[in-house]
Structure 1
Amino acid sequence: MLDVALRHRFGGDGFGLDVAFQAAPRGVTALFGPSGCGKSTILAAIAGLLRPAAGRVALGGQVLLDTAAGIALPPERRRCAVVFQDARLFPHLSVESNLRYGLKRAPRGATGPGFEEVVALLGIGPLLGRRPFGLSGGEKQRVALGRALLARPLLLLMDEPLAALDAARRAEVLPFLARLRDAAGIPILYVTHALEEVDALADSLVLLEAGRVLASGTVEALSLRADLPLAARRDAGVLLPCVVAEAAEGLARLDFEGGTLLTTLHPGGPGTRLRIRIRARDVALAVEEPRGLSTRNILPATLAGIDPIPGTAEVFARLSVGPSLLLARITADSVQRLALRPGMPAWALIKAVTFDHRAVARDDHAPAGPG
């Protein structure tokens, strides 16, 4: 377990940070929020690159920082590996030499994935003899990830590692990040302001604003809360764990707890586990069973609640589909016109072409759907 409590201020009237949160012993905890909310400052304090005014950081029972007790381990003793926006590879060394530099920094007797395993994991075997100047941005980041993992850290810190890449390169690297998450077996703090990266990688989420923690918990749970800034986004919606049941004729069938979805996603073969974002603006609501529609997903549901969206003439309708919840973003006028009330039967309508095509397969330890 990683325990973090930090307080710091830059100058008398400067930015102030006052946060406390925990991260699980393994998996990805995303620090999410707008630019300037304190995400990178938190990582710098944990890594020992910034001495906060007050705070405590403990990793697996070992205290890395305790200002009250006068404890502040130097960065090299904290066993934290940091991956930045820019890969920061040694330009005069080959890819293989850059990777082996990470191995040289690993403490004697430390365990972790070996050189060949990391190379295979990140798909960088064909790059070993090349120099960094000849690599694409995505390839450089994969090498930087490998070097960090080979240093056998106890904690991996990623400071917006995909921010400098274009959309195509981000899509290239995301699956490798997912593999690394599953293979590392250590806690990973992942700083980002890109929701698609949270969806693909994060197990837990720490939502930040102006140097404070607004909320923390599982990504799925926070995606359902209408009182958080996430709900104000146009891509707001639920994150639904699914498992691929079959794929044929251009459509994949995804099973989830409570039902089945058809999608034009190509997420992998039967048994592949993934999470998909179902945007609330892509969900229509009917109070009578629809017929004669092109929409493939017509899910029987119960209207569980209606949450006004502050500052708008819209609401989130919470729809129970078995034990799973969906959100539909509809107008307040529709609530009145259809006489919507909690407890009434309804149908959720979702077109097969609206699902987020950046879904990344997962190797979760907990079940993600039926079976």
Structure 2
Amino acid sequence: MIEVDIEGSAGNLPIRATFRSDSGVTALFGHSGAGKSTITKMIAGLLRPERGRIAINGETLFDTGKGMDQPVRMRRIGHVFQEARLFPHLTVKSNLAFARWAGRTIDRTRFDQVVELLGIESLLSRRPGTLSGGERQRVAIGRALLSSPRALVMDEPLASLDQGRKAEILPFLDRLCHEAKIPILYVSHALEEVARLADTLVVISRGETVACGPTAEIMTRLDLGAATGRHEAGSVLVGRVSAMDSHWSLSTIDVEGHEIEVPATGIEPGTEVRLRVRARDVSLALADVPGLSIRNRLPVTIEAITSETGPYAEILCRIGEQPLRVRLTRASVSDLGLAPGGQALALIKTIAIDRREIIGSGSA
């Protein structure tokens, strides 16, 4: 559990952050310069807020009302930055064991668990200069985990990596987020990372918390366009793999009793998964259309439609209890007579759901 209610400043940027996350991965999301990293530095004790309270798992780290301000060392916040910051003259194994030199005991079983979790056993004898960017970040994460942290802060850990290296490390982050058993604060301005990893989403704009809640709900908020950006806006649907078709290389996902076909995932039937669906990849129809190549056709209820100028309208629909965000032209909304409370079919191309956007719980 992470509890934050602080005010302060960094240069000319005022900070007013208030959020609470009960478990799992909490993402701080916002544009560059929004104040995300400043907030994490305040949580870690590297910067001091002017007032407020910070607590992790029920233990208070900072409270101006009670005159409490634990030093950085006592807070035990593990940090992973954009750059791995490994010691170039040490092997991977020695970098991982650095916590021992900092006065902390490393349990051999724990060491082996972290090495296996991050898939770095084959790297132990190598030096950082011989590793890829993704490998270096995995080692940096391992070093942070072996420092016995109370919580882990990952500050834009993939920002310096190209798409290939991101694809290399994301499966390990998936597994880490499910198995670390400590609160993780994940800082990013990449919505695809947040959708894939986070349980709770905190949106930061100009140093202030503008929204906080379950990732699937916050991503579909129509009033957060300025803070989250429109181009990559979308939804996270939670379902369960119900079947695999090896002939056509497709998997079927059950979402609220309705079937969605996606590129074959390799995830076993019965496994819960999350699907990221971009708003721009969804169309709406008033009735089923024969002779159409789009195979995913899900009945939805229209809940809200934005009223704005420009060519586009944002529409919030529901598939059962789950929100689905749709972007259409305002002309289409008018032609179809769409309105809150109305019924429609959501049309989603199978190929629009990237294989990388399908995440199984606990998958590696």
- TM beyond 0.5: yes
Q: In structure 1, what is the Cα distance between the partners aligned to 2:68 and 2:95?
A: 32
Q: Which residue of 1 aligns with 2:325?
A: 327
Q: How many correspondences in the alignment?
A: 359
Q: In structure 1, what is the Cα distance between the partners aligned to 2:150 and 2:175?
A: 17
Q: Which residue of 1 aligns with 2:313?
A: 315
Q: Which residue of 2 aligns with 1:43?
A: 40
Q: In structure 2, what is the Cα distance between the partners aligned to 1:231 and 1:194?
A: 10
Q: In structure 2, what is the Cα distance between the partners aligned to 1:340 and 1:68?
A: 52
Q: Which residue of 2 aligns with 1:21?
A: 19
Q: In structure 1, what is the Cα distance between the partners aligned to 2:237 and 2:103?
A: 38
Q: In structure 2, what is the Cα distance between the partners aligned to 1:309 and 1:107?
A: 57
Q: Which residue of 2 aligns with 1:274?
A: 273
Among 55, 58, 71, which residue is 1:58 paired with?
Answer: 55
1:134 is displaced (CA, Å) by 0.6
Identity over the aligned pairs, expressed in percent? 46
Please tell me whether residue 286 in structure 1 is matched to residue 282 in structure 2.
Answer: no
Please tell me whether residue 349 in structure 1 is matched to residue 347 in structure 2.
Answer: yes
Q: Which is worse superposed, 80-89 or 53-62?
A: 53-62
Task: Note if contact 2:217-2:323 (Cα within 8 Å) is conserved in structure 1.
Answer: no
Among 208, 212, 235, which residue is 2:208 paired with?
Answer: 212
1:270-297 C-alpha deviation (Å, 9 max, x unpaired): 2333211111211111112110111111
Which letter maps to 1:23? Answer: S
Please tell me whether residue 121 in structure 1 is matched to residue 120 in structure 2.
Answer: no
1:266 is displaced (CA, Å) by 2.6
Q: Which residue of 1 aligns with 2:196?
A: 200
CA distance 1:259–1:278, shift in 2 (3 Å): same
CA distance 1:184–1:141, shift in 2 (3 Å): same
Q: In structure 2, what is the Cα distance between the partners aligned to 1:271 and 1:10?
A: 48
Matches for 1:173-184 after TM superposition, within 5 Å: 173-184=169-180
Please tell me whether residue 250 in structure 1 is matched to residue 254 in structure 2.
Answer: no
Q: Secondary structure at the match of 1:35?
A: coil
CA distance 1:3–1:341, shift in 2 (3 Å): closer
Q: Secondary structure at the match of 1:361?
A: strand
Q: In structure 2, what is the Cα distance between the partners aligned to 1:278 and 1:286?
A: 17
Q: Secondary structure at the match of 1:177?
A: helix
Give the TM-score of the pair, scaled to structure 1.
Answer: 0.90
CA distance 1:287–1:10, shift in 2 (3 Å): closer
Task: Note if contact 2:196-2:276 (Cα within 8 Å) is conserved in structure 1.
Answer: no
Which letter maps to 1:278? Answer: V
Please tell me whether residue 145 in structure 1 is matched to residue 141 in structure 2.
Answer: yes
- In structure 1, the gaps of 5 or more residues are 365-371
CA distance 1:66–1:318, shift in 2 (3 Å): closer
Which letter maps to 1:6? Answer: I
